[in-house]
Amino acid sequence: MKAPELIDGQAAAVTAGRRFDWWGPVQSGLLGGGVAVLISLVGMIEASSRRFVIKGTLSVGQTILFLALIYVAYRAVQQATKREARHDVGPARLVASAALAGLVGSGMLAALVLIGNVVNLRTVFIKASPELYDLLTFGLPLLPGIVVLLVIGAVIGALVAGLYLLPPRIRKAVVLGLGFLPVIAVLHSALFAGSGLQLWVAILIFVLVAAGSYAWSRSQKQVKERVSSMSPASQRSMRIGGWVIAGIMVLLLPQLGDYPADVLDMIGIFALMGLGLNIVVGFAGLLDLGYVAFYAMGAYTIGVLTSPEIAWTGFQLTFWEALPFAVGVATLSGILLGIPVLGMRGDYLAIVTLGFGEIIRLVALSDWLKPYIGGSNGITRIPKPVAGPFGALNTQAELFYPILIGCLLAAFIAIRTKNSRVGRAWMAVREDEDVAQAMGIDLVRTKLLAFATGAAFAGLGGAFFAAKLTSIYPHSFHLLVSINVLCVVIIGGMGSIPGVVIGALALVGIPEILREFSEYRLLMYGAALVLMMLNRPEGLMPEARRALELHQEEVESLEEGGQEATAVAG
């Protein structure tokens, strides 16, 4: 027998003789089951039970529970493969681990139903209602419903393990097909007031997406080679054509209706602020928790200069005439904030900027400035922008286009600045201030420029926000706005300009579409941040350099493994 065959045989014998590790799947099941119980008790399942993914069959609430069980099983499979990474993990072990994890997770939900039918949990958890228990047992009587719930948990676990055992191309195609279903169903119900997809439509969408993904995975290498062999002029024409098609689609999106246009406006405003905070936090590494102050400066400047309610100025400007003043006041505020915090770093900087944001809100709320900016009554009757011969931009769809232009302008400035000497100075300050100063970088100028640029973008976003609502109040500019924008930057990927747009779509667009989750928005943000930090700390669309930094240990371990394999082969 050859040496490799002997080694493989010994490994298989060791694997066959190893005891089944049941504690790992149980841990995963308890963790995921606890999360599912929490989601149920806070009311998310019941709140989303009236919106369907598949009409009359699968609700959004049930989909959330299934996703929790799927994550439990996936975690169990991952742990099983990591524990036995040096050996051949048998399919039976993977299926058993995932099924056990799913069974334990669904068992936690079954325990909730049993306890809730014996003890009145509503004295503590007001959402622990009979309607919730009925949803968890699929409308069946207590004992049959619990049995079905346990069986579904185990079956989901086994299916996840079976999916993991499929070839990568098929696995990816199936996952994409299943993942697109709830997304399309939710968009369909939100945009067209539908009640979920018909079963045959859901099957058709799954087949088309899965088949398309599989076909692309088979042919993408040939397509990329063919494109790379084309002349530079042809490649440029293809890129321009792609951008033109994407641009036309974006321009047509607001025409879907007033509600989608309103959601797009909010996404654009938060993307605009995210691009500014990305410069401060992502490029320069300056943690600013008072970013809402600059947002408020832009909004209040527009209100003071354009609203007929404010008479002390003695004049009234149009929106476009007041816009440069709004951006200028926000920029000046960024510089004034930056001067006293030049010597601060990290947590101290975050605390001071947080205080600055709260000071601005409280000052705007006070009676001291009420004759000038309205106090707690705010400023109303702010006029809409006027687009020359097209007249006033009265609808949300019409207002989307100047917001889009503002986002494109901010993205252009951010890209050009990032690739300039100033951008490299910001990144040097982010990595190590002392070393950057020793290399000749002017920290005062560099930091103030970051604060000023980020504040200018926030002021622009505040100006559009004031025009969108035609009124502003101090309560609109609280700390949570800064936290939301920071979450957009972190989830999208710090330092990544496309990531900011993706983060705004994920954290602003989804909660706006799923209005029944509005009271759980902060819970969703917290859960998203925890999951991102655990599984993808670099963000959804990270900057290449930051992704490499965060996964440096994995790269080094792969290199060491390759060296060991080379040594053994030698």
DSSP-assigned states of every residue in 132-185:
HHHHHTTTS-HHHHHHHHHHHHHHHHHHHHHHHHS-HHHHHHHHHHHHHHHHHH
Radius of gyration of the chain (CA): 27
Alpha helices by DSSP H, listed for 517-551, are 521-535, 544-550
Residue labelled with tokens 């926030």: 458
Pair of tokens at residue 13: 């014998």
294: which residues sit within 8 A by CB, 6+ positions away?
276, 330, 333, 334, 454, 455, 458, 459, 462
Residue labelled with tokens 């069959």: 57
Q: Are 268 and 400 in contact (CB under 8 A)?
A: yes
Number of neighbouring beta carbons within 10 Å of residue 182: 19
pLDDT score, position 411: 93
User: DSSP code of 119?
Assistant: S
Show pLDDT as tens, one digit a residue, over the chain (570 residues): 444 444 344 444 444 455 667 787 888 888 888 888 988 888 888 887 877 888 877 888 888 888 888 888 888 888 777 765 544 557 787 888 888 888 998 899 999 999 988 888 888 888 888 888 888 888 888 888 899 999 999 999 889 888 888 888 888 888 888 888 888 887 777 766 657 788 888 889 889 988 988 888 888 888 888 878 888 888 888 888 888 888 888 888 888 778 888 889 999 999 999 999 999 998 988 888 889 999 999 999 999 999 988 878 778 888 999 999 999 999 999 999 888 888 887 788 888 888 888 888 888 888 888 888 888 888 888 888 888 777 788 888 889 999 999 999 999 999 999 888 998 999 898 888 888 888 888 888 999 999 999 999 999 999 999 999 989 998 888 888 998 899 899 888 888 888 999 989 888 888 777 776 777 777 777 877 787 777 777 788 887 776 666 665 554 554 555 554 455 455
Q: How far apart are CA 567 and CA 570, in angstroms?
A: 5
Residue labelled with tokens 């909004």: 299
pLDDT score, position 528: 77
User: How many residues are given for the chain?
Assistant: 570
Cβ-based burial of 130 (10 A; exposed 0-12, middle 13-18, buried ≥19): exposed
Q: How far apart are CA 474 and CA 293, in angstroms?
A: 11
Q: How far apart are CA 100 and CA 95, in angstroms?
A: 8
Q: Measuring CA to CA, which residue among 314, 294, 268, 566 is closest to residue 454?
A: 294
Query: Left, alpha or beta for 440 (phi > 0: left; psi -120 to 50: alpha)?
Result: left
Q: How far apart are CA 183 and CA 169, in angstroms?
A: 22
Q: Measuring CA to CA, which residue among 380, 211, 368, 401 is closest to residue 309?
A: 380
Pair of tokens at residue 369: 């400035």
Q: How far apart are CA 524 and CA 2, in angstroms?
A: 56
Torsions phi, psi for 379 (to 5 deg): -125, 125
Q: How far apart are CA 296 and CA 378, in angstroms?
A: 12
Q: What's the gap between Cα 6 and its chain centre?
A: 49
Torsions phi, psi for 392 (to 5 deg): -70, 140
29: which residues sit within 8 A by CB, 6+ positions away?
72, 76, 100, 101, 102, 103, 104, 105, 107, 108
Cβ-based burial of 19 (10 A; exposed 0-12, middle 13-18, buried ≥19): exposed
Q: How far apart are CA 299 and CA 9, in angstroms?
A: 72
Residue labelled with tokens 């954290």: 507
Q: How far apart are CA 191 and CA 193, in angstroms?
A: 6
Q: Are 517 and 47 in contact (CB under 8 A)?
A: yes
pLDDT score, position 523: 79
pLDDT score, position 467: 92
Q: How far apart are CA 72 and CA 104, in angstroms?
A: 9
- Which sign, positive or negative, has the C-alpha torsion 552, 557, 562, 564? positive
Q: How far apart are CA 14 and CA 4, in angstroms?
A: 15
Which pTM does this prediction carry?
0.81
pLDDT score, position 331: 94
Pair of tokens at residue 174: 């199936």
Q: Are 142 and 116 in contact (CB under 8 A)?
A: no
pLDDT score, position 558: 47
